[in-house]
Amino acid sequence: RTGSTEIVHSYTGHDLAALLTNLYGRQFDLGRPDSEAPLRRYVEKQFSITDKNGKALPLHWVGAKVDADTVVVFQEIPGTKIEKGSRIHNALLIDFLPSQRNTVNVETDGTVKTLFFDQDSIDQIAP
């Protein structure tokens, strides 16, 4: 619709706060504005997309929405749609919670496919 790729991550707030506390050695309240920068650094380190030729696609941080239980992070790739053969790297929370399993719904050519990321498969090819 927009010609861009929209990325929405949804995670349990408690898990992300515990992870950031572990990484940075201080308590985090993800509802506070000063928590967004460390969250952003972590997401940008653990989630990336490259095109089918291996070129990193520029993920732009749109923002985060926090409620009592959930943290939703918004990113986009302006003016670019994910194509079949793009590589998605998703290690979010897997480094902290070994049993973490991330689900990603990918739309290519109007078809939505679901990919699963876990400790054994943090890189997947868009179908």
Q: What is the pLDDT of residue 8?
A: 92
SS (H, E, C) 13-44: HHHHHHHHHHHHCCCCCCCCHHHHHHHHHHHH
Structural domain containing residue 12: 5-126
Cα–Cα dist 60/43, whole Å = 11
Q: Are strands 102-108 and 60-66 parallel, antiparallel or unpaired?
A: unpaired
Domain count for the chain:
1
Question: Looking at the whole model, is its pTM more than 0.75?
Answer: yes
Cα–Cα dist 74/9, whole Å = 7
Residue 1, pLDDT > 60, answer no
Q: Cα separations (Å) of 27 from 14, 19, 89, 90, 97?
A: 11, 10, 28, 25, 18
Per-residue pLDDT of 17-73, as tens digits, reads 999 999 999 988 888 888 899 999 999 999 999 999 999 999 999 999 999 899 999
